Amino acid sequence: MAIFQLVTSIFIAITVNTRARAHPSINQSFDVPIENGEFTPLDIAGYLRLSDDIDIELGDKFEGDIVEVSRNSSLWLRKAKKIIVPFIIDEDSGFSPKQIYKILTAMQEIEEVTCIDFKWRENEDDFIFIYSGNGCNSYIGRIKGWQPLSLNIKSACGNSKGVIIHQLMHALGIRHMHNHPSRDNYIIIDENNLRDDAKRNFVKYESDEMNLTYDYYSIMHYGSFAFSKNGHQSVITINEFYQRIIGQRNYLSPGDIKRLRKMYKCNCIEIGQIHC
């Protein structure tokens, strides 16, 4: 796999000094809910939101990080047994080797669990152009032609693999979880704590195209204090256990993987079916 080889070469070529961030332990006396069923991760502790996580996606775009939501978009195209997503990383944006490594490993994590294959653009008309712009944002799905995806190098946006995955998921067609049509059964949006200019970011979607249940663990969920105007929680989970989960940017959840695989019909693509 081209991405894997490049990730490996970059990793060998640079020395990355990292500070271990231990996951907080779960109080064993607290019963772990199973209401997500098949979407409940085996390692719950791995999905706890870290205390120093930043809601970097909360910019001035629609829902914080979505560009031109009304523009027509579609899914990326299939070639043989893969969904091909061409990309370019802007040489003029000044991404460091470490940041490029994180971008490529974010792509790799999506590739490993789906039929999606990110590849360096050759002469494809449709491609993602990853650059350091104003904040962290992306279009939804394939918009055709040159498609910018901003990862600001001076913020957590260009330095967090989980945030990069979040933006790549948008570019693949996945939207936010907190706007899911069934969200009122799982979370409460406290408008008393919301900025007035941000209330439009919490309008529920009319339908969920994948017809899948709500997912607290999703990497596409916003955190407890999203767009808060006063430092109080704006997103409150009905089951308090999940208050420590929502907004995590550690891993794709089982539900995220299921959503992507269903959207791109990976099960039938992988066995070579022409019509899915």
* 3-class secondary structure, 1: coil
| Residue 207 pLDDT class (50, 70, 90 cuts) | confident
What pLDDT does 99 receive? 95
- Greater confidence (16 vs 203) lies with 203
Sequence-distant (≥ 6) Cβ neighbours of residue 179 within 8 angstroms: 63, 202, 203, 204, 205
Spatial distance between the Cα atoms of 268 and 240, rounded to a whole number of angstroms: 38
Facing residues of 118 across strands?
Answer: 85
What pLDDT does 71 receive? 63
Facing residues of 119 across strands?
Answer: 86
Binding-site residues: 166, 170, 176
What pLDDT does 275 receive? 75
What is the mean predicted confidence (pLDDT) over 38-52? 82
What pLDDT does 60 receive? 86
Name residue 183's amino acid: R
Spatial distance between the Cα atoms of 219 and 162, rounded to a whole number of angstroms: 7
Residue that has been written with the tokens 């918009």 in this structure: 143
**pTM of whole model > 0.85?**
yes
- Greater confidence (87 vs 70) lies with 87
Among residues 103, 119, 120, which one has the least CA distance to residue 165? 103
Query: What's the Rg (C-alpha) of the chain?
Result: 18
Among residues 225, 176, 180, which one has the least CA distance to residue 207? 180
Residue that has been written with the tokens 């080889």 in this structure: 5
Spatial distance between the Cα atoms of 21 and 7, rounded to a whole number of angstroms: 22
What pLDDT does 54 receive? 61
Spatial distance between the Cα atoms of 126 and 97, rounded to a whole number of angstroms: 25
Q: If 0-12 CB within 10 Å is exposed, 13-18 middle and 19+ buried, where does residue 118 land?
A: buried
Q: What is the mean pLDDT of the chain?
A: 86
Q: If 0-12 CB within 10 Å is exposed, 13-18 middle and 19+ buried, where does residue 15 land?
A: exposed
Q: What's the residue count for the chain?
A: 276
- Rounded to the nearest 10 degrees, the angle between the axes of helix 2-13 and helix 97-111 is 150
Q: Evaluate whether 115 touches 261 at the Cβ level (below 8 Å).
A: yes
| Residue 21 pLDDT class (50, 70, 90 cuts) | very low
* 3-class secondary structure, 270: helix
Residue that has been written with the tokens 């789906």 in this structure: 114
pLDDT at 140 over 60: yes
Spatial distance between the Cα atoms of 237 and 248, rounded to a whole number of angstroms: 14
- Phi/psi of residue 37, nearest 5 degrees: 55, -120
Spatial distance between the Cα atoms of 226 and 53, rounded to a whole number of angstroms: 12
Question: Of the ranges 23-37, 43-57, 63-77, which one carries the lowest mean pLDDT score?
Answer: 23-37
Binding-site residues for Zn(2+): 166, 170, 176
What is the mean predicted confidence (pLDDT) over 174-188? 95
pLDDT at 85 over 50: yes
Token pair belonging to 57:
């996606």
